[in-house]
């Protein structure tokens, strides 16, 4: 068997086979096209020194998996990334375009993960093949552009033993720096005992686990109507519930060395943690022990997608600047000037700015400064 270095060298010569997806909230190509196809590079400077920025929240789609899945009704949400309404935007989101837009936005490195369609419905054999293809293609991208991308893989969480194997293989053979999972698995909470081996392996490997929601199915009826409430409310609610169970069911006590990053600023939890603390000490229904629920927030990490300077200031006050990482949700159009947004947070000192833009993510993802 070839060494990991030789394996990654082989990957670098392979065809990428990755599509970068857009959901149409904004025209991601507009500034690029208006500039005649030439993006202006932005260098980020803090206190007179260049800062290498790291975006921990950005997505891609691996089209090779569609042939495996196209005949399953459960896979049809992915069709938009192949030949549905998203197809025109897929044509502009080439690798060249992504690199150009990263330069324009001042993003030096992206930690690339799949668009959050986890296929947790798939049987064991299909799930194994889907994950194998996705992780390998992401590794190929990173091997070909090691100064611009690091990989966040995926795992088949519906089969915890398989997920554990895939995580170890992805980390040790493919060099993936972390793994993206949903906020629940087919209705089961991430704190369930069946997932303990997965968390144990993640702690052992030191791999980042990026919790990214894929909706909140239990609220489907209530989310009908205008406002895209399934996304605007459902996604952060899913993360809020997931993190709360990890706290109250003792998962974070059992595995204190876990590196968990929660998408979209951790949902609603950091903004309302005081209510969780009101439950502290109730042995009948809430958590007992030495730490209040809010204290666990300081051992988790969160991307910066809370959209306002005041929202970020408040989150820093609740969890600390050391727990926040840059996140754009590229290319879904939620945030384009995330660098300027961080630099504009009131009261943030230069060390805190550098930590959020680079240092925290560099530590989590083992990226040299």
Per-residue pLDDT at 154: 97
Instruction: Write out the two tokens for 99.
Output: 């690199």
* pLDDT digits 0-9 by tens, 231-279: 999 999 999 999 999 999 999 999 999 999 999 999 999 988 888 888 8
Per-residue pLDDT at 91: 28
* pLDDT digits 0-9 by tens, 128-150: 999 999 999 999 989 999 999 99
Per-residue pLDDT at 288: 61
Q: How confident is the model at residue 40 (pLDDT cuts 50, 70, 90)?
A: confident
pLDDT at 6 over 80: no
Per-residue pLDDT at 291: 85
pLDDT at 208 over 70: yes
Per-residue pLDDT at 279: 80
The rounded distance, in Å, linking the Cα atoms of 262 and 267 is: 8
Among 192, 71, 183, 52, smallest CA distance to 122 is for 71
When the pLDDT of each residue in the chain is averaged and rounded to a whole number, the result is 86
Which domains does the chain carry? 4-365 (3.20.20.140)
Is 0.85 topped by the overall pTM? yes
Per-residue pLDDT at 289: 65
Task: Report the sign of the C-alpha dihedral through residues 231, 233, 234, 239, in that order.
Answer: positive
Task: Tell the residue number behind the tokens 């052992």, with chain if given.
Answer: 204
Q: Are 60 and 368 in contact (CB under 8 A)?
A: no
* pLDDT digits 0-9 by tens, 287-331: 666 788 899 999 999 999 999 899 999 999 999 999 999 999 988
The rounded distance, in Å, linking the Cα atoms of 361 and 225 is: 38
């Amino acid at each position: 068997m070839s060494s990991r270095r030789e394996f990654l060298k082989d990957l670098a010569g392979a065809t990428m086979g990755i599509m970068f997806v857009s959901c149409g909230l904004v025209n991601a190509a507009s500034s690029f096209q208006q500039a005649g196809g030439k993006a202006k590079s932005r260098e980020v400077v803090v206190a007179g020194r260049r800062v290498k920025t790291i975006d921990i929240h950005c997505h891609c789609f691996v089209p090779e998996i569609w042939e495996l899945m196209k005949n399953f009704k459960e896979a049809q949400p992915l069709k938009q990334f192949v030949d549905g309404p998203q197809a025109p935007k897929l044509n502009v989101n080439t690798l060249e375009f992504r690199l150009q837009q990263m330069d324009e936005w001042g993003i030096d490195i992206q930690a690339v993960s799949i668009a959050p369609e986890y296929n947790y419905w798939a049987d064991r054999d299909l799930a194994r093949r889907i994950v194998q293809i996705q992780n390998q293609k992401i590794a190929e991208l990173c091997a070909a552009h090691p100064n611009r991308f690091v990989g966040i893989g995926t795992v088949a969480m519906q089969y915890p033993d398989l997920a554990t194997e895939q995580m170890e293989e992805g980390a040790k053979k493919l060099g993936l720096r972390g793994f993206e999972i949903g906020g629940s698995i087919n209705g089961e909470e991430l704190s369930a005992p069946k997932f303990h081996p997965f968390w144990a392996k993640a702690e052992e490997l030191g791999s980042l686990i990026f919790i990214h929601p894929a909706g909140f199915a239990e609220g489907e009826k209530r989310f009908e109507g205008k406002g895209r409430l399934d996304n605007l409310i459902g996604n952060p609610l899913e993360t809020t519930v997931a993190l709360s169970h990890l706290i109250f069911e003792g998962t974070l006590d059992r595995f204190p060395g876990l590196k968990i990053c929660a998408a979209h600023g951790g949902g609603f939890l950091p903004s309302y943690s005081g209510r969780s603390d009101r439950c502290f000490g109730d042995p009948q229904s809430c958590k007992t022990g030495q730490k209040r629920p809010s204290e666990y927030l300081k051992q988790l990490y969160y991307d910066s997608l809370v959209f306002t300077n005041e929202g970020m200031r408040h989150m820093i006050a609740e969890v600390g600047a050391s727990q926040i990482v840059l996140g754009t949700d590229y290319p879904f159009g939620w945030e384009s000037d995330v660098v300027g947004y961080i630099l504009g947070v009131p009261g943030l000192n230069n060390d805190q700015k550098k930590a959020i833009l680079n240092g925290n993510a560099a530590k989590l993802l083992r990226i040299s400064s």
